């Protein structure tokens, strides 16, 4: 069926409301807009669905939500009656339509005879992972687009371990979506009827308390906070999102007396009126927090993204200015602190392990191994970090004390299998307070880490490739790099070419081909003669190719020089074309 046929089919569907039909009629004659909305369905992957909110096949709306849920319900029903009884936990964030999409998800699950535990109002992402595990659900759904702009929403899916969906289940849902009619296949129960029949149960304060009890179990050194509590000040912002209740509460229970929240951003609002992008990776989003920090004389600033799974911090530098600490640096600081705190307080488990992703700084490995911890890499995404944690611990091969990725995601404890800004905020605040008790800022602590472990620097470049031809450009770039793998980049020899798709490693010097443990992901890595690692991977949730530059050297200046040199090469990939000498 062509995109025009699909458009006409939607127009004729009785499932559309008058407003939805009017929206589609308004684009009649705009071929480009019709094609962009109906050229293909949103692709269902291990991260579920994500897209802009409007009426169409390639968008996020109640019809796509119902269709995805019906397909997911079929996969759950295939697991048997016990799985249906265990049910599904459903959570949602602050975005426009998130509550509506979550309720529709619940109604379709209930219509299929699958029990639902639905949060009564918006909650942080880690709480749905926690709820799946705590209540022994077969699966979970979170309606969120994380840190994306306000136009986006998403449908994030979890399995019974509390981690995001494994590939074979994602494939099964995608297969069902291809088989089932968009409108005619939906089996839905009225919300009030489902509640009355016990198919939908609401979760609220009781689940929050269970979650917070686990969060507080991650405190390592409460005395360090008590020591400075009268004078230590911090600024917190939830960027209009779901962290606005539980994060300040966790910090209060930690013993913090001066948690000053940015009032304008404590207002829950899916339009994110005070920021261009509600992303703690973007320092410009912290402008209100910085102004407040200067006014209050705060020691550091902490912000969580709208669904409270990621957290970013700003600290005072040696000049007294508030500067951004990257996700890589924050993870290194926290890992180093956790090791010291657990050793001081006798809480270090036997055979401790740190986990990171392949695109996360190699400094984390240096910190771990210097302190006697094993360190393992996984593919990007917390489903892989969670899978590795379970595999190691179930085999008795180590106890994971910390797992993180460079994009501001951190996982601690055993009660979630996803990134968790609530627990991370608690531990980061404890760390900042402990260093304050030593007369140090987190900036000072970072410099000490560089002195101890060596100098490292990282940079991620996002090569945005939007539009209908964007996916083709992304695919062509990856195919081209595989067809003509570079032997030299920025005047430096490539020592080894690694392809995580098939797990191959090619030594450029002699052409010897070996294999590595990880395989099955569309990622290329180049190990350079100067010790730099360059990684190229298409994003799984956005129309862009990400290039990661990971360097280390004798000085910070030398690291920055390397980053700048390789960034020029990375930028050149935007216009990549095959060439015999590349």
User: Would you name the residues annotated as active-site residues?
Assistant: 146
Question: Tokens 């595989």 label which residue?
Answer: 482
At residue 119, the 3 state secondary structure works out as: strand
Burial of 93 (0-12, 13-18, 19+ CB in 10 A): buried
Judge whether 301 and 289 are in contact, CB under 8 Å: yes
Tokens of 496: 């080894």
Whether 115 contacts 199, CB under 8 Å: yes
Of 416, 507, 485, nearest to 134 by C-alpha is 416
Rg (CA), the chain: 24
SS3 410: strand
Q: Encoding tokens for residue 455?
A: 């100098």
d(CA 523, CA 546): 10
Closest CA to 366 of 417, 325, 328, 311: 328
- Closest listed residue to residue 238, CA positions, set 411, 415, 422, 407: 422
Among 122, 104, 159, 154, residue whose Cα is nearest residue 137: 159
Distance CA 573, CA 536 (A): 10
Q: Tell me which DSSP letter residue 270 carries.
A: T
User: How far is CA 430 from each of CA 220, 246, 424, 444, rounded to the nearest angstrom?
Assistant: 8, 16, 10, 16
HSE-CB for 211 with a 13 A CA cutoff: 28
Distance CA 58, CA 468 (A): 11
Task: Output the CA–CA distances (angstroms, integers) from residue 431 to 244, 407, 582, in the order listed.
Answer: 21, 20, 46
N-terminal to C-terminal alpha carbon distance within the chain: 41
3-state secondary structure of 408: coil
Distance from C-alpha of 463 to C-alpha of 223, rounded to nearest angstrom: 46
Task: Tell me how far apart the alpha carbons of residues 427 and 419 are, in angstroms, rounded to a whole number.
Answer: 13
The strand ranges marked E within 30-99 are 49-52, 88-92
């Amino acid at each position: 069926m062509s995109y025009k046929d699909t458009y006409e089919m939607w127009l004729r569907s009785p499932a559309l409301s008058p407003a939805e039909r009017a929206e589609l009629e308004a684009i009649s004659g705009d071929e480009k807009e019709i094609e962009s909305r109906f050229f293909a369905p949103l692709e269902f992957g291990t991260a579920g669905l994500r897209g802009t909110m409007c009426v169409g096949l390639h968008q996020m709306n109640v019809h796509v939500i119902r269709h995805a849920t019906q397909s997911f319900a079929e996969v759950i029903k295939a697991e048997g009656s016990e799985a249906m009884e265990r049910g599904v936990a459903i959570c949602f964030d602050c975005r426009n339509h998130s509550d509506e999409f979550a309720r529709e998800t619940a109604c379709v699950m209930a219509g299929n005879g699958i029990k639902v535990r639905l949060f009564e109002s918006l909650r942080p992402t880690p709480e749905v992972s926690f709820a799946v595990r705590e209540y022994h659900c077969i699966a979970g759904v979170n309606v969120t687009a994380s840190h994306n702009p306000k136009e986006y929403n998403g449908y994030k899916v979890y399995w019974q371990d509390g981690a995001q969906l494994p590939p074979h289940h994602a494939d099964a849902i995608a297969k069902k979506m291809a088989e089932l009619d968009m409108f005619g296949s939906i089996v839905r129960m009225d919300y009030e009827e489902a509640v009355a029949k016990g198919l939908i149960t609401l979760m609220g304060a009781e689940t929050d308390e269970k979650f917070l009890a686990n969060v507080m179990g991650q405190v390592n050194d409460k005395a360090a906070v008590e020591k400075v509590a009268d004078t230590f000040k911090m600024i917190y912002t939830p960027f209009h999102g779901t962290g606005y209740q539980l994060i300040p509460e966790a910090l209060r229970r930690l013993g913090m007396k001066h948690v000053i929240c940015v009032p304008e951003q404590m207002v829950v609002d899916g339009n994110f009126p005070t920021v261009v992008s509600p992303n703690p990776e973007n320092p410009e989003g912290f402008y209100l927090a910085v102004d407040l920090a200067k006014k209050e004389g705060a020691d550091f600033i902490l912000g969580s993204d709208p669904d409270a799974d990621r957290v970013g911090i700003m600290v005072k530098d040696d000049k007294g200015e508030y500067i951004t600490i990257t996700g890589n640096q924050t993870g290194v600081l926290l890992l180093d602190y956790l090791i010291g705190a657990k050793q001081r307080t006798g809480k270090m488990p036997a055979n401790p392990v740190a986990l990171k992703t392949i695109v996360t700084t190699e400094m984390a490995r240096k910190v771990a191994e210097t302190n006697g911890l094993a360190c393992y890499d996984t593919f990007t995404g917390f489903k892989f970090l969670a899978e590795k944690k379970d595999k190691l611990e179930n085999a008795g091969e180590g106890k994971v004390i910390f797992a993180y990725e460079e994009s501001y995601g951190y996982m601690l404890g055993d009660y979630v299998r996803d990134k968790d800004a609530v627990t991370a905020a608690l531990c980061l605040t404890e760390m900042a307070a402990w260093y304050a008790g030593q007369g140090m800022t987190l900036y000072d602590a970072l410099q000490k880490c560089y002195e101890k472990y060596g100098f490292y620097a990282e940079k991620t470049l996002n090569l945005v490739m939007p539009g209908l031809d964007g996916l083709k450009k992304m695919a062509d770039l990856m195919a081209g790099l595989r067809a003509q793998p570079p032997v030299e980049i920025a005047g430096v020899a490539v020592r080894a070419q690694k392809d995580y798709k098939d797990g191959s490693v090619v030594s450029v010097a002699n052409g010897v081909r070996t294999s590595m443990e990880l395989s099955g992901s569309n990622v290329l890595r180049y190990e350079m003669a100067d010790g730099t690692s360059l990684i190229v991977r298409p994003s799984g949730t956005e129309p862009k190719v990400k290039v990661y530059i990971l360097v280390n050297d004798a000085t910070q200046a030398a690291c920055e020089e390397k980053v700048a040199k390789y960034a020029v090469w990375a930028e050149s990939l935007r216009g990549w074309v095959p060439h015999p000498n590349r």
